[in-house]
Every structure is written in C-alpha cells, then in structure tokens.
Amino acid sequence: MPEPIEERGAKELKDILLKGAGYGIRMIVPDGISEEEMFLKLDTLSAEALSLGGGLGVVLDLQGRPLSRPSILRLMSEFIWPKGIKVLSWTAYDAATLENLKALGISTGEPVPEKRRKKDKSTPGALLLIRSLRSGQRVEHDGDVIIIGHVNDGAEVLAGGSICIWGRLKGTAHGGLDGSGEHTVVAGLFEANHIRIGTKVSASLNSDMEWWGKPVIITVEENSLVVRKLRL
C-alpha cells in the first residue's frame, strides 16, 4: 500500500528540490541530509538547473534545518556568490536559523510579489541616455528616464517614473507606468501627437496648441493632464 505523499516526501527526500513558482524558483533543502551533504549537493547542482529560471529570482527554503551564522556565510561565499544566484529571500522554520539570518541582515520570509514591490519607496535609479532615439527604438525603465537628445517620430520612452527629454519630443512618452500619476514629463521642444502619464492619456494634440514646438512641463492635476509652457 502506498504511503501518503507527505510521509514519503519527508522520509525519502534526499535531493535538493527546485520548484517553479510565480517569482522564479523555490530551492528546497530537505532536512534529511547533513550539512556537509547539503554543501556537496549544492555544489553539484547542474548549471542547467540553475539557469532554468533565466535570471529569475530564487527563494532558498531551508525547511527546519539548524544553520549557524558561519554556515550561512559559507553558503553565501561557496554557493550563492560564485554561481551568481539572485536570492529573493530565505525561508526557515527553525527559530535559531531565522534569528541568525536576520542578524546577518538577510531578508527572510516569502518574497514580496512584484506589484507590491513597485509601491516600495526605494525607487529604482534614473536612466540617463545621452543620444537621440530614432523611429522604432524604444527605451523602458522602472525609474525616471532622462534623455539628452531627441525622441523622434516613431520612437518610444516608457518610464515607471518621470521623463525628461532635453531635445525634441515627437514620438511617444509614457511616464508613471507605476500608475501613481505623481510623475512629470518635461520636453525641451514639444511636437508629440499624444502624451500619457499613469492612466491619463491626452486627446490628440497638434500644432494649434499654443505650447506646440516649445519647452513644456506636463503633470497630472485633479485627475487630468495639464500641459504648461516651461519657463526657467
């Protein structure tokens, strides 16, 4: 008679288990192997297995394993750093192990889902681009984007935050992809047919507008887009 799955898992699991998850890969280190075995097995984890996630994050699940601080450091210096593994967080249910992880400043618990991450106050840095974007070229960045150059007709700039274009804007600029609407789009010379910040999209714009061809600053105020001539 077959044993219940859980039972069998606990007894027979002697290998490090890699499981796909929403955030990337969960690497489960079974309790049934000794610490030395764990290091050996991690060392022999094939390169293919580790690149399965293609740069995706890994959650290192230590189960109920007791791990000292030096062992944790050894895990980092012999496994995580040399193999270039992007660890999102560590999980453990051994209280002492958890203490040790926290004492080393390691993030513990389940990874924060992407959506909540974006709201996190620690914004990604700005992207500075000293060149023009030609038709068909596209730049996408989570933080602010600064372009010292033109954004030509048919080019696109998508930013989580604000966008500042030193030159002429004829292509598409879409700021505030994080949805907050607190961001700004600035262009040295505005000739774009539409503009978007957060969820606000402008009506079709044209040369009848008084600020057409001039420096502008665009913001969201009281739930609508406001374009102003930029005066310095």
Partner 1 sequence: MDPRIIVITSGKGGVGKTTTTSNIAVALAKMGHRVVAVDADIGLRNLDVMMGLENRVVYNFIDVLEGTCRLNQALVRDKRADTLFLLPAAQTRTKDAVTPDQMEQLCDMLRKEFDFILLDSPAGIEGGFKNAAVGADEALVIATPEVPSVRDADRIIGMLESMGKAPIRLIVNRLRSNLVREGEMLDVRDVLDILAIDLIGIVPEDDSVVKSSNRGEPLAFGDSSPAALAFQRIASRIVGEEIPFPSFEEEQNKGFFAALKKFFGLK
* Residues in a beta bridge with 221: 224
Q: With binding defined as CB under 8 A, does residue 134 bind partner 1?
A: yes
DSSP letter assigned to residue 160: S
Q: With binding defined as CB under 8 A, does residue 213 bind partner 1?
A: no
Q: With binding defined as CB under 8 A, does residue 152 bind partner 1?
A: yes
CA distances from 177 to 98, 162, 191 (A): 36, 9, 21
Q: With binding defined as CB under 8 A, does residue 137 bind partner 1?
A: yes
Distance CA 61, CA 67 (A): 12
In this complex, which beta carbon is closest to partner 1, that of residue 141 or of residue 170? 170
In this complex, which beta carbon is closest to partner 1, that of residue 160 or of residue 171? 171
In this complex, which beta carbon is closest to partner 1, that of residue 19 or of residue 138? 138
User: Pick from 31, 37, 153, 182: which binds partner 1 (CB under 8 A)?
Assistant: 153
Q: With binding defined as CB under 8 A, does residue 135 bind partner 1?
A: yes
Q: With binding defined as CB under 8 A, does residue 71 bind partner 1?
A: no
Q: Helix-strand-coil percent breakdown of the chain, rounded to 5?
A: 20, 30, 50
Tell me if 57 sits within 8 A of 87, measured CB to CB.
yes
Q: With binding defined as CB under 8 A, does residue 154 bind partner 1?
A: yes
In this complex, which beta carbon is closest to partner 1, that of residue 114 or of residue 208? 208
DSSP letter assigned to residue 169: E
Least gap, CB of 135 to partner 1 (angstroms): 4
The residues near 34 (Cβ < 8 Å, ≥ 6 apart) are: none
Q: Which helix (H) or strand (E) holds 168?
A: strand 163-169
Q: What residues from 16 to 55 belong to the interface with partner 1 (CB under 8 A)?
A: none
Least gap, CB of 134 to partner 1 (angstroms): 3
Distance CA 170, CA 187 (A): 10
Which residues are near partner 1 by CB under 8 A?
132-137, 150, 152-154
